[in-house]
Amino acid sequence: MAQTAEEAQKPDYDEHAITFLELLWGKGHLSPGGTDEVDRIVADIDFAGLRVLDIGCGSGGNALHLARTRSLKTIVGFDVEGTVVEVATRRAREEGFGDRASFVRADPGRLPFDDGVFDLVFSKDSLLHVPDKDALAAEIYRVLAPCGQVAVGDWMIGHDGPMSPEMAAYVAAEDLGFAMGSPDRYRTAMEGAGFTDVRVISRNPWYLERARAELKELKHTRYAEFCAACGKDYIDYQINTWTLMISVLETGEHCPSHLFARKP
């Protein structure tokens, strides 16, 4: 069946999804781990005076956490969805970060920034939505200044072959336009763009344990709370999605990872 115009324009992360994910992962966070995982990704970076780009900023939790806790010069959050950019912009204004943190919406494709204007590109579980990893790596390279750094957390697939039936079922349940690449695929794309010191570190064991705890919250300890906020049918659907996700985390086919690189 063809989509209606309203369906075609419906964002992946509408107010309903934002409510659910922030209830699960914390205010401003649309991916797991909250501020603790953000801090792990950037643990080795000296932020003094850095101009930072957050690709796929969502509702702004990661960018505002970095603005709040690091000595960066500026941070710009970029996302393709207007709903989350509006939320992030409002929160930055409410917290008094209007001079250091800003948020931009633009269509997928070329990043809406000049060459060499950032010192660090950060992203948290957003690059998996971009199918062309080579073009993505080239764009990140373009907007970074010489000696700029990349520090990313992303959801990856453990191989470059066809998805297993279990993985395909999970991706279909998420229905968020996933285009996962393998660690090798990311490494090849980054090195092809000119990056050096490319490293990929698996976070699968951490998230497998975390996802099991999240499923327990959804099914048992916080079920009534989630249903009150989002509706029983919505939460029952998410319980099924989490069950499918855990099955592919257990096999390692779904492998959340950290990605690091440097521009010469």
The domain that holds 101 is classified in CATH as 3.40.50.150
pLDDT for residue 5: 32
- What are 77's strand-pairing partners? 54, 103
* pTM of the model as a whole: 0.90
In a domain, 187, yes or no: yes
Let me know if residue 227 belongs to a domain.
no
Mean pLDDT score of the chain: 92
Given a contact cutoff of 8 angstroms between Cβ atoms, the answer to whether 84 and 53 are in contact is: no
The answer to whether position 37 is within a domain reads yes
Structural domain count of the chain: 1
> Could you tell me the two tokens for 53?
């780009």
pLDDT band at 34 (very low <50, low <70, confident <90, very high): confident
How far is the C-alpha of 208 from the C-alpha of 248, rounded, in Å? 9
| 50-109 tens-digit pLDDT | 999 999 998 899 999 999 999 999 999 999 999 889 999 999 999 999 789 999 999 999
Residue 3 has pLDDT above 90, yes or no: no
In the prediction, which pLDDT does 242 show? 96
Residue 13: the pLDDT is: 62
pLDDT (0 to 100) of residue 6: 34
pLDDT digits (tens, 9 = 90+) for 133-187: 999 999 999 999 999 999 999 999 999 999 999 999 999 999 888 999 999 999 9
Residues β-bridged to residue 124:
153
Does residue 88 belong to any structural domain of this protein?
yes
Amino acid present at 232: K
SS3 78: strand
Q: Are 149 and 120 in contact (CB under 8 A)?
A: yes
Distances (CA, A) of 155 to 122, 126, 177, 207, 227: 14, 8, 12, 10, 27
Indicate whether 65 belongs to any domain: yes
Q: Which domain holds residue 79?
A: 15-155+179-204+255-263
